């Protein structure tokens, strides 16, 4: 499966895992809606910093 783990860097510069095995990433007015392969959802107010799909890694930056 080709889902990714989504990490977020907070305002202090610390990176934390937000949601594993994310399939869908959809921009919304208030940030991004993340949905993983287990149908867990999170909305996070952040912008994209980088995506490295072969590493299964999406990094967001908190706004």
Residues lying near its own copies in the complex (CB under 8 A) are found at 1-4, 22-27, 37, 47-54, 56
The number of CA neighbours under 13 Å toward the Cβ of 13 is 0
Distance separating alpha carbons of residues 7 and 51, to the nearest angstrom = 10
C-beta of 10 vs 51, nearer to its own copies: 51
Question: What secondary structure letter does DSSP report for 54?
Answer: G
d(CA 56, CA 51) in angstroms, rounded, equals 8
Residue whose CB is less far from its own copies, 11 or 50 = 50
In whole angstroms, how close is the CB of 52 to its own copies at the nearest point?
6
- Minimum Å gap between C-beta 12 and its own copies is 21
Helix (H, G, I), strand (E, B) or coil at 19: strand
Considering the complex, state which of residue 10 and residue 53 has its C-beta at the smaller distance from its own copies: 53
């Amino acid at each position: 499966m080709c889902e990714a783990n989504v990490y977020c860097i907070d305002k202090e510069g610390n990176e934390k895992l937000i949601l594993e095995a994310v399939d869908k990433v959809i921009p919304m007015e208030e940030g991004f809606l993340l949905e993983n392969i287990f149908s867990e959802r999170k909305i996070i107010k952040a912008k994209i910093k980088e995506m490295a799909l072969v590493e299964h890694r999406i990094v967001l930056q908190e706004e």
